Amino acid sequence: MLAFEYLKYREDNGVAHLLLNRPEKVNALSMKMSDELYRAIVHVRDSRDLRVLVIRGAGNNFCAGDDLTEMREKWGNANDFMRRAQLYQTMANQLEELDKVTICAVDGYAVGGGLEITMACDFVLATERARWGMPEIDWGLTPGWGGTTRMARLIGRRMTKEINMLGAIHPAERALRLGLWNRVVANDALDAELAKFLELLATKHQQGLRQMKFIINKGVECDLHTAQGFEALSGGFIGAINGFWEIPDADKGEGLKAFSTKNDLQKKRRALARDFWVDSGNP
């Protein structure tokens, strides 16, 4: 099992539970904690056994974002700031692209980088007392890993300007109305709601979930017809893994077999193809 200083991590029946654990600092992301978070995400990414990742915060708060005191003292010059922002972007991209279902269970504050973590995940469940926002503008900063980019894709540019340029701290219910979060529950009901949700996910076609996440994430970034191509290919693949895989004129692995054995099929194919139209094409 992974060992961390500022995170708690455990695995249970295909579910990875990750707890941000600096409650005395509202789980603010120090450089060391961020590095540990990246390492945990990579571990989950590489696992063949995990199906779900749940991220929570200790001490009745989710995450207050980057540790601003440390940022002033340790981040370095402008180029160092840019390099660390790119590292965080890579971490958020890895989180977003996991072939697992990712869930943030939010209590208390999820601001700045904490909110950016939630936007890189698939689902967000929150308590009524949860609060969120992007107050970077009042610290003389701009968001670095999703506060303007992912947010604009989730709630549109006008609302993203309001959230970022005003810097207000909002109630959980507004995140629900805007489409940032999925579900708001009573303050004492978060554990029960999460347990029911995990039970539901465990009943699903797991490969179907993986493919659905992939085509939604990729499709939203491209034009309609390209997105429909992803959708069609996913339909064919899901048919194959459900048992309808045989196509009469498909190769059925014979090409790879021919490469390995150098059989008659390999010789015929390569003899015909190797020098076909390799001249200039002029008469």
Identify the CATH number of the domain in which residue 80 sits. Answer: 3.90.226.10
Question: Average pLDDT in the 163-170 region?
Answer: 98
Q: CA separation (Å) from 58 to 19, 37, 184, 281? A: 6, 14, 19, 69
User: Which position has the higher pLDDT, 283 or 124?
Assistant: 124
Residue 268 is assigned to a structural domain of this protein? no
pLDDT digits (tens, 9 = 90+) for 109-154: 999 999 999 999 999 999 999 999 999 999 999 999 999 999 999 9
Given a contact cutoff of 8 angstroms between Cβ atoms, the answer to whether 40 and 67 are in contact is no
pLDDT digits (tens, 9 = 90+) for 198-217: 999 999 999 999 999 999 99
Which domain range does residue 196 map to?
7-202
Residue 247 is assigned to a structural domain of this protein? no
Residue 61 is assigned to a structural domain of this protein? yes
User: Do 27 and 41 reside in the same domain of the chain?
Assistant: yes
pLDDT digits (tens, 9 = 90+) for 223-276: 999 999 999 999 999 999 999 988 898 888 999 999 999 999 999 999 999 999
Q: For CA atoms 45, 48, 54, 56, give the dihedral sign.
A: negative
Output the pTM of the full model: 0.92
Last residue of a domain, one of 136, 171, 202: 202
Residue 282 is assigned to a structural domain of this protein? no
Share of the chain above pLDDT 70, in %: 99
User: Do 20 and 154 reside in the same domain of the chain?
Assistant: yes
Instruction: Indicate if the pLDDT at residue 1 is higher than 80.
Output: no
Given a contact cutoff of 8 angstroms between Cβ atoms, the answer to whether 42 and 94 are in contact is yes
Confidence of residue 2 (pLDDT cuts 50, 70, 90): confident
Residue 276 is assigned to a structural domain of this protein? no
User: Do 85 and 30 reside in the same domain of the chain?
Assistant: yes
User: Do 151 and 167 reside in the same domain of the chain?
Assistant: yes
User: Do 19 and 77 reside in the same domain of the chain?
Assistant: yes
Last residue of a domain, one of 202, 231, 265: 202
User: Do 224 and 144 reside in the same domain of the chain?
Assistant: no
* Number of separate domains in the chain: 2
Residue 152 is assigned to a structural domain of this protein? yes
User: Do 103 and 185 reside in the same domain of the chain?
Assistant: yes
User: Do 195 and 111 reside in the same domain of the chain?
Assistant: yes
Residue 96 is assigned to a structural domain of this protein? yes
User: Which position has the higher pLDDT, 2 or 155?
Assistant: 155
User: Do 102 and 119 reside in the same domain of the chain?
Assistant: yes
User: Do 45 and 57 reside in the same domain of the chain?
Assistant: yes
User: Do 172 and 93 reside in the same domain of the chain?
Assistant: yes
Last residue of a domain, one of 144, 174, 202: 202
Confidence of residue 72 (pLDDT cuts 50, 70, 90): confident
Distance CA 73, CA 55 (A): 28
- Per-residue model confidence (pLDDT) at position 54: 98
Mean pLDDT of the chain: 95
Residue 255 is assigned to a structural domain of this protein? no
- Per-residue model confidence (pLDDT) at position 280: 74
First vs last C-alpha separation in the chain:
68
User: Do 194 and 233 reside in the same domain of the chain?
Assistant: no
Given a contact cutoff of 8 angstroms between Cβ atoms, the answer to whether 81 and 156 are in contact is no
